[in-house]
Amino acid sequence: MIPRKARKVFNGVLFDVYQWDQRMFDRSYAVFERLRRLPTVQIFATRKNKVLLLKEMQPGFNALRISMPGGKVERGEDPLQAAKRELLEETGFSSKDWGLVKAYASGRHKIEWPVYLYSARNCVKTADPHPDPGERIDIEWVSLKRFLDGFTENANDMMMDMLHAKYDKKKRIDLARKIFCNP
């Protein structure tokens, strides 16, 4: 957690840098530093008991990534607004039935990074996709089992939930209820 006494020393595109003087155990002081990342959203887009899987390439990644629709929350933007915008931009799909599945305090040790995981149920095609210039995205509607089998995102809090759902029937049913039905 970034303390109140911290001062922002850098305003970045994705990360802001904060520093403060921290008293050490020997009563000396040292400069401590943490990053705050803009929040991100990820979306379980569903229709007819299928989940939308993205196969995407981005500059800086040398391999095809299997992922979900999502992206950063712009400064001043509400996370749900960001989720709706990202789903439409990346896939051309929209939904009138949204729910928050989970909010994560992602990041480790020196980075604060809020992540919001939404469910967009009963998605319909309403536009052509308009991904960012640095995104090449193909979409595929798959079963929840196939989705869990193919999900290869970096290990993080959400990945752990995915792995639990893959191997624990009760957790899989709970996840399916959250993303396919109104809770």
Residues of each domain in the chain carrying CATH 3.90.79.10: 38-180
Task: State pLDDT tens for residues 131-179.
Answer: 888 888 999 999 988 888 776 544 456 777 788 888 889 988 988 888 8
Residue 130 CB contacts under 8 Å (≥ 6 apart), including other chains: 89, 92
CA distance 143 to 166: 12
Q: Which of 2-6, 77-81, 139-143, 175-179 has the lowest mean pLDDT?
A: 175-179
CA distance 158 to 115: 9
What is the mean pLDDT of the segment spanning 52-75? Answer: 86
45: its two tokens: 């887009």
CA-based R_g, the chain, Å: 19
Q: Look at the domain 38-180 and name its fold.
A: Nucleoside Triphosphate Pyrophosphohydrolase (3.90.79)
pLDDT at residue 48 is higher than 50: yes
Query: Phi, psi (5° rounding) for residue 74?
Result: -65, 155
Give the pTM. 0.79
Q: Which of 180, 147, 183, 178 is nearest to 47 (CA)?
A: 180
